[in-house]
Amino acid sequence: MTTKKSVLETNDQLDYDLVVVGCGIAGLSAAVLAQQNGIRVAIIERATKDERGGNTRYTESYWRMKSRDSVSDDFEEQLISNSGGYPDPEITKDVLRSYENWPPILKSLSFTDPDLISTISSEAPNALQWLETFGIKFDFLPNYFINESTTRMAPIGGGLALVEALATFAETGPGDVTIHYETTAKSLIHNNNGGIIGVNAVGKGNKPLKILGKGVVLASGGFEGNPEMASHYLGPKALYIRPVARGGYYNRGEGIRMALEAGGAPAGDYGSFHAQPIDPRSGEQEPIVLIYTYGILVNKFAERFIDEAPTTVDASYESRTRAIMQQPEGIAYAILDGRLDDIPNWQKSVRSDIPPIIADTISDLASQMDLDADNLSRTINSFNKSCPDPAKFDPIQADGLSTRGLKPIKSNWARALDRPPFRAWPIIAANCFTFGGIKVNNNSQVVNMDGEAIPGLYAAGEVVGLYYRNYPGSTSVMRGAVTGRLAALDFVRRHNQ
């Protein structure tokens, strides 16, 4: 199904100026900004109109900002400190030169370059304020963290409001945009000069379609919805993870594959992903269980395996969740007791619609979870013995109430679990989005293995490889809006030359 047809069209070939793959925040930002600059745009979207928007459709869309005009104070420091494994200082020393003078191996290096970080940082307010021109309002909205380490803003109505505002403008606003729904981009079309001029796609019934332009923006998300790529890059434990919301199932990695096949340099941590702790029993979107920081986590052997609370929950849940994935069968259980009710409004950090397993005794709790009751009692007894005087317990900040002499330590909120009712939630890792993607420069042009921009090829959003180690939360929608806009601006500049 398509809307608004005004382009040169033959049976199986369509001609536009710019072809955008994907209808989330990244693709829509690119398409609509190009539209506003008089560019004829095709958006290729795998989903139906009702389900358009990928992950963006399901996110509340927090942005790591301290105001409409500025990113959070820790924004650049967080991205820099998670910009790679151990980047080679002999290679990265040249970041001090201007970008034109970087050697090719640095331009194509898999690390988050400081230039791109500062571009995202300075462009985020422009992107936010541009989105406001479509009737979106950003504010400091409540979220599901009981304690947190940074500042966040979000659009009222979340990502869905962003998708609907931009897609409606694309389809009904001035200019020339056609959205091809239920159409999946499969491969890139090259010209004889090393440039990219379109995509081969398939529509309903696997019908092939050539969509031509003078440039392509790949904005089709990561590979969280592709079990083959997930297993290949994340390892066999990927069997136990699933997309955190329905939109992720549409993101099957074709954009990343297309860019790699065209010679694009890989960037972002291919072996990792943004992990969220969810209740596997729930079919809700993003059914997170973040309350475990006030209790303990045990695996199928009823053993603790990690410090549940090294710091505030927003800054530590991702690494805890990856550790859950590594446990037998990729599952753990959060165990809490009656003291949970001391924590005001704890319910906001559990979004599963399935009630916890509840019991008056540890052995009953264990049998309901199919865990060994003796092992669970032993684990809880030794945890309880190591807990300090709870008088200084403070759920709102990292309170330093840590276990003594216990391995692994629990660094905060360590209070004995001895007051019925006992409660347990199963937790698995959900894949919010994958980290592995494509290297881009400051114009969101795809950089090839030799450090050069591939003419006509852009990447935006999750297709851009940006993250390593720990995901600095609330930066991915922002990444999508900024890189989509950068791609459009560069395309417009070249188109008008």
Q: Which residues contribute to the site for ligand FAD (CB under 6 A)?
A: 21-27, 44-47, 52-56, 58-62, 159, 184-185, 219-221, 244-245, 247-248, 250-252, 254, 285-286, 432-433, 461-462, 474-478, 480
Cα separation, 118 vs 253, whole angstroms: 27
The answer for 175, left when phi > 0, alpha when psi is -120 to 50, beta otherwise, is left
Contacts of 439 (CB under 8 A, 6+ apart): 107, 108, 109, 110, 264, 265, 266, 267, 446, 447, 465
Least distance (Å) from ligand FAD to the CB of residue 300? 27
Q: Residue 50, Cβ neighbours under 10 Å: how many?
A: 8
Cα separation, 477 vs 52, whole angstroms: 16
Cα separation, 467 vs 117, whole angstroms: 11
Which sign does the torsion angle of CA 71, 72, 73, 75 carry?
Answer: negative
Least distance (Å) from ligand FAD to the CB of residue 438? 12
Cα separation, 398 vs 384, whole angstroms: 19
Read off the tokens for 192: 């004889």
Residue 141: Cβ-neighbour burial (10 angstroms; 0-12, 13-18, 19+) = middle
Smaller CB separation from ligand FAD, 285 or 377: 285
Smaller CB separation from ligand FAD, 71 or 359: 71
Least distance (Å) from ligand FAD to the CB of residue 232? 17
Least distance (Å) from ligand FAD to the CB of residue 151? 13
Least distance (Å) from ligand FAD to the CB of residue 76? 16
Smaller CB separation from ligand FAD, 148 or 364: 148
DSSP for 131-154 reads HHTTT--EE----S-SS-SS--BE
Smaller CB separation from ligand FAD, 112 or 474: 474
Q: Residues 180, 42: contact at Cβ < 8 Å?
A: yes
Least distance (Å) from ligand FAD to the CB of residue 361? 36
Smaller CB separation from ligand FAD, 130 or 305: 130
Smaller CB separation from ligand FAD, 83 or 183: 183
Smaller CB separation from ligand FAD, 255 or 295: 255
Read off the tokens for 59: 């996110």
Q: Residues 324, 308: contact at Cβ < 8 Å?
A: no
Smaller CB separation from ligand FAD, 33 or 424: 33
Read off the tokens for 186: 């499969």
Vertex 50 angle, CA 47 and 56, to 5°: 70
Contacts of 88 (CB under 8 A, 6+ apart): none
Smaller CB separation from ligand FAD, 295 or 480: 480
**Rounded to the nearest 5°, which phi and psi values hold at 112?**
-85, 110
Cα separation, 56 vs 478, whole angstroms: 11
Least distance (Å) from ligand FAD to the CB of residue 330? 19
Which sign does the torsion angle of CA 52, 56, 60, 65 carry?
Answer: negative
Smaller CB separation from ligand FAD, 294 or 435: 435
Smaller CB separation from ligand FAD, 252 or 423: 252
Least distance (Å) from ligand FAD to the CB of residue 164? 13
